[in-house]
Each structure stands twice: as C-alpha cells, then as structure tokens.
Chains A and B, each alone.
Chain A
C-alpha cells in the first residue's frame, strides 16, 4: 500500500509499505477513503515530538470502508466507519468511566515505559502519533489496522458523505469537549485563543451550549473571517492589545471562560533542562506559551480555563498566582472521542452542525507532502487539508 511516512523535520514522503493484516481478534482493516492532516501532525512535522522513527506512518484523522474483520470485531465488511484517533479497549477503569483517552490497555506494555517517567503514568495508544503513544501506524495510508474495532469506529449511515463526518475522528469532538470543559452557562462570555480547526469547532460548540458571546483571537484574516461567520466577535492580536480588549468587550468583568486552542509546540516532550535550547532552535518558544498565560490573566475571577491545545513537557513562567488567587478551574485532556461521536453524528445528520466549511483543500494521498508544507507555512489560506487515497494527482 501507499502511505505518508515521516523521515525527519519537514521531511515526509509517500512510500510503499506492506499492507496491514489482522493481528489480534478484535482488529479490523479499514480501506481509507478520507484522511485529514491535523494541526497536531505539524508538531511531528516540525520534529518537536520525540519518539518518532524514520518510516513511521502518520495520520490520526481517517475514515473508510471495512475490508477485513477479526473474529471478535463487531464490524461488517463493507461498512463505512469513522475511526477515533484514541485507541481504547473499552473495559479498563478509564474506559468504563468514558475516559477513553486514558485507556490503560491500548499502549503496548513495553512502550508504556516511554511515557511513564515523563508523566507519572503511561499514555494510552493513539494512531500515527509517535512511539510514546504506542507507535501505531497511522491513517494517512491506503489501509489501516484498527485495534479494538468493536469500541472505537462509528458506522456512518448512507446519505452522509465523507466531508460531513470525517472530523468526528478528532477535531469536532475535541472542539466540543473544549467547550464542555469550559463549563459554559447560559449567556456566558467565552474567549477562544486560536482559530484553527479546534478553535473554530470550539466556537461553534460554545454557541450551541448557550454562550451569549464568543470572542475569537487569532492573526490570520481568513481564519478570523471563518470565526466571525460562525457568530464570534474577533480580535486580531497583531493589531489589538488582547487583555485590554477582552476586558472592554466583557463589560470590565473578564470572560467567564477561556479556551486555549493554541497549545505549545515548542515545548514538545522534552525534559526541562534542554527546553530553553529547544525554544531557541525552533524559534517560536518564547511566544508559544503566551496564549495560555494570557488566557489565565484574562479570565474573570472564579472563571474556567479549558485547554484543548497540545502540551507535551514543562512550562516556565506559569501564572500560578493568578490561577490560585482568582480561584480558577482548569480542565484539559486528550479528547475522549468515543464519548461524543454518537451525539455529534446525530447533530450532523440533523443539520445542526456543519463541518465542511473548514476544508480548504482536497488532495490525493500522493500529494500529501505538499499538503503538509502548505498547511504549515500558508496557514491563512490552508485552513484544513483532506487527503483522498485512491484519487489521481491532477496533471
């Protein structure tokens, strides 16, 4: 099969790999029809997350047709499914509490040794996202082996096309959980840092949950325009003093809840001792925690801080005083995708949620490297890239 593989910083290639097979009883093999490049794939692309090996297949937002099933899979050949990026066994302490992204059993035993010293507890398995999260081959490929296929994949009814449902795999539930973590009450003012895919879906979700006003913060005109179209007021941080503006736009009270949909790329999963070097090398470190610090400063006393943005390591100059003195509540975490897919699929089917507005580019899988390059370096125009294996490169 053909698959997008990682070889180093800003070096991804489409190569030929052996087709996957059923290995465990609960496995299924999916023939991928649509697969997206995620903002968090750019952390891998930039080489700031360790634990990747040259030749690893990337991709964790994908859907397709079931072509093979293990004896304990509940899927049927021919079904169309969206696959959550979180791999979850469905039966451990965490899965039973619907904390699917904390699954104890999906990261292979010996690979759990990589994240346990870093976080105190081992991470669960994720598709295509370094060996810290299991080293599972990802979905930017023609075929994927999906473990625990009776728990994760959600079957898509006829009549909904790929572009409408693909984002159930990650960014739609991630935006939804970000808004849920903000504990929104009727009429709340909510500020969202970052109008990438997760930020935009968080805006949409916050309004659906009853927010009275959502204020979106970014620098790219196209992304701010998308936020405005969803119903948000916008702040361009390149022209406006954000803290002051937020106070003025919330009656001097401050936003009731804040959502950091930026994350901190430069901090990767590194020990703190080499963090500063890392920051300098990547060249964006000094600003990269800025969104979270600013969000904590901006939120009203007793307010809520939701962090869907990806953080990997350690943070310095963290405004812990503001957090404690203002009595803030912080909620965060990798998305418990399986908890949300059914409800969100229903809302898509009923026309309440549309996700297709986000897609700026559709490319054949063979063109994936170009997709990465532009998604990384032309963020204004390239808001979301969907790869379509099986389609031909335009001449």
Chain B
C-alpha cells in the first residue's frame, strides 16, 4: 500500500506520529534484547559487595540480614557502649531485659502477638574495639547468630558500624511472614535499632514525635 493516497490528502499527522512512536518503541525493545544477549556471560566471578545484597536466586541458603550505618563518634566509645549488653535495652525496643553471666547472655524479647521469646547467646569471637560475634546456645528458643563490627570511617567521619544477623525464624517461613507483618522481623528491627543507636550516640537521645511521656 502506498503511503500516500492522493496529492491532496496525505496520512494525517497523528497517524504518522503514532507510527513513528511505535517504530521507535519496537526499535528500542529490539536493541535492548540484542544488548542483553550480547552482555550475557557464562561465568560471573564474585564481586566486592556484601553477600546479603545479592540478587535473589544468588543468595546463600541461610537467610542473612544486615545493615551498615556511620556514626559520628570514635570507634572505642561505640564498642564499649555496645559491649556492655545491658546498654542495648536503651535502644533495642523489643529487648525487655538482658542478663549476663560470663560469656552467656539471656535476652527476653517481645515477639508478635504478645509472646515473649528467650534468646540465649554466647560470644564466639571478640576483638576489642572491632568486633563482637555471638551465636545462640542450645538452650535458646531461637537459632541465630550475628556479629557487629566497628570500622573507622574515612576522612574522620567517625565509625562504620555493621550489624549482621542470620537466623532461623520460629515456625519457619510462616513465622517470618507474621513477624514481618508486625514489623518485628530482624531485618526491620535491626534497621530501627541501628538508627536508634546512632541517635543515642550522636544526639544523646532518641528522637520521637510523641508530645507526651505516656
């Protein structure tokens, strides 16, 4: 079919614009497809990003969650505050209390639906001013392990604090979902706790928009 019908009446501009638009879209799609084929590689070596930031499917089998935050205070000060576990209840809202006996700590934690869970942990590695790693004991109701590391931030910005937790949720995947709905999943809680820790260390108090004490 010829593109013109008569000398007087060509295709109307709207149709032309539509055709051009459709053509361009098809062209872009084809280009993207050929580029993605072109870029495909058979072997993908590891990169420098933390494993927990891997795209789904490339994640390691055990669910791991973690977060890094920069706190504008010296490393030794932050380590010392964290190492005194009784302090943690100041900024970990779910933690009701902590009792410490040597290397073993018992944590009473508020769980969804008003339940309380006891976590008993043992320190498995400690490097002063740098690292505290722990693992749940057999007596614990939750199986979990975690580590918090303290690194000097560049250019005098204070300390990079990284907290990583891997855990087996109570009641499996369903338990994890329930916890998430109640915003008590470790990933969410950990994020909030790190922010509160930062507030307490930098600002001396934890921000709240509440207008009254109770």
A residues near B (Cβ < 8 Å) are 17-18, 20-21, 23-26, 72, 87, 89-93, 96, 104-113, 125, 134-137, 145, 147-148
Tell me if A136 and B209 are in contact (CB < 8 A).
yes
Partner of B207, one of A25, A125, A137: A125
Contacts of B157 in A (CB 8 A): 93
Of the candidates A21, A107, A125, which one forms a contact with B211 in the assembled complex, judged by CB atoms under 8 Å apart?
A21
Return chain A residues, CB-CB under 8 Å to B199. Answer: 89, 105, 109
Given A91-B203, A109-B195, verify A18-B209 contact (CB < 8 Å): no
Q: Are B208 and A108 in contact, with the CB atoms below 8 A?
A: yes
15 sampled A-B residue pairs with Cβ under 8 A: A26-B204, A89-B203, A91-B203, A92-B198, A93-B158, A96-B72, A104-B198, A105-B198, A106-B207, A108-B207, A109-B206, A113-B191, A125-B207, A136-B209, A137-B209
> Within the assembled complex, what's the spacing in Å between the Cα atoms of A106 and B195?
10
Given contacts A21-B213, A92-B72, contact A110 B207 (CB under 8 A): no
Please name the residue on chain A nearest to B73 by beta carbon: A91
Residue of chain B at shortest CB distance from A20 = B211
Contacts of A104 in B (CB 8 A): 198, 202
The residue that A134 contacts in the complex, of B192, B196, B209, B213, with Cβ under 8 A, is B209
Question: How far is B192's CA from A107's CA once the two chains are assembled, in angstroms?
Answer: 11
Contact size range, B: 20 to 34
Q: Tell me the B167-212 residues at the A interface (CB within 8 Å).
A: 183, 188, 191-193, 195-196, 198-199, 202-212
Give residues 134-192 of B contacting A (CB, 8 Å).
157-158, 183, 188, 191-192
The verdict on B70 contacting chain A, using a C-beta distance below 8 Å, is yes
Q: A18-B212, A93-B157, A96-B72 are in contact. Are A109 and B196 (CB under 8 A)?
A: yes
Contacts beyond the supplied A21-B212, A24-B207, A89-B203: 14 A-B pairs with Cβ under 8 Å: A21-B211, A24-B205, A91-B204, A92-B72, A93-B70, A93-B72, A104-B198, A104-B202, A105-B207, A108-B207, A109-B199, A109-B206, A125-B209, A145-B211
Nearest-neighbour CB distance to chain B for A279, whole angstroms, equals 21
Q: List, in ascending order, chain B residues with CB within 8 A of A91's CB.
A: 72, 202-204
**Majority-rule SS of B interface residues:** loop
Contact between A135 and B209, CB atoms less than 8 A apart: yes
Instruction: Determine if A26 and B207 form an interchain contact, defined as CB atoms under 8 angstroms apart.
Output: no
Closest Cβ of chain A: how far from B196's Cβ, in Å?
5
**Total A-B residue contacts, Cβ distance less than 8 Å:** 83
User: In the complex, what distance in Å separates the CA atom of A116 from the CA atom of B210?
Assistant: 21
Q: How far is B73's CA from A104's CA once the two chains are assembled, in angstroms?
A: 14
By a CB distance below 8 angstroms, the chain B residues around A135 are: 209
Contacts of B206 in A (CB 8 A): 24, 108-109
Is A23 a contact partner of B204 (Cβ separation < 8 A)? no
Contact B204 A107 (CB under 8 A): no
- Closest residue of B by beta carbon distance from A106: B207
Query: Given the known A-B contacts A93-B72, A110-B192, A112-B195, are A105 and B211 also in contact in the complex, defined by CB atoms under 8 Å?
Result: no
B208 with A23: CB separation less than 8 A: yes
By the criterion CB–CB under 8 Å, are B213 and A23 in contact? yes
- Measured CB to CB, the nearest residue on chain B to A57 is B211
Instruction: Give the contacting residue for A111; candidates B158, B196, B205, B209; CB below 8 A.
Output: B209
How would residues 79 to 120 of chain B score, 1 for a CB under 8 Å from any chain A CB and 0 otherwise? 000000000000000000000000000000000000000000
Q: Within 8 Å CB of A23, what residues of B?
A: 208, 210-213
Q: Which residues from A are CB-within-8-Å of B188?
A: 113
User: Shortest Cβ distance from B198 into chain A, in angstroms?
Assistant: 7
CB of A307, distance to nearest CB on chain B (Å): 28
Residue of B nearest to A125 (CB): B207
Complex alpha-carbon distance, A110 and B94, angstroms: 13
**A107 touching B207 by the CB < 8 A rule?**
yes
Alpha-carbon distance between A20 and B210 when the two chains are bound, in angstroms: 9
A135 to B209, CA, bound (A): 6
The reply to whether B203 and A148 contact each other, CB–CB distance below 8 Å, is: yes
Question: Measured between alpha carbons, how far is A95 from B89 in the docked complex, in Å?
Answer: 27
Distance of A136 Cα from B72 Cα, bound (Å)? 25
Name the contact of A18 in the complex, choosing from B193, B202, B211 (C-beta under 8 A).
Answer: B211
Which A residues touch B70, using CB under 8 A? 93
Docked complex Cα distance between A228 and B30 (Å): 56
Q: Which of A24, A106, A137 has the most CB of B within 10 A?
A: A24
Give the nearest-CB partner of B205 in chain A: A24
Q: Which residue of B lies closest to A104 (CB)?
A: B198
Given contacts A109-B195, A110-B183, A112-B195, contact A92 B213 (CB under 8 A): no
CB neighbours of B204 from chain A (8 A): 25-26, 72, 91
Alpha-carbon gap, A68 to B188, bound state (A): 35
Cα distance A110–B188 when bound, in Å? 9
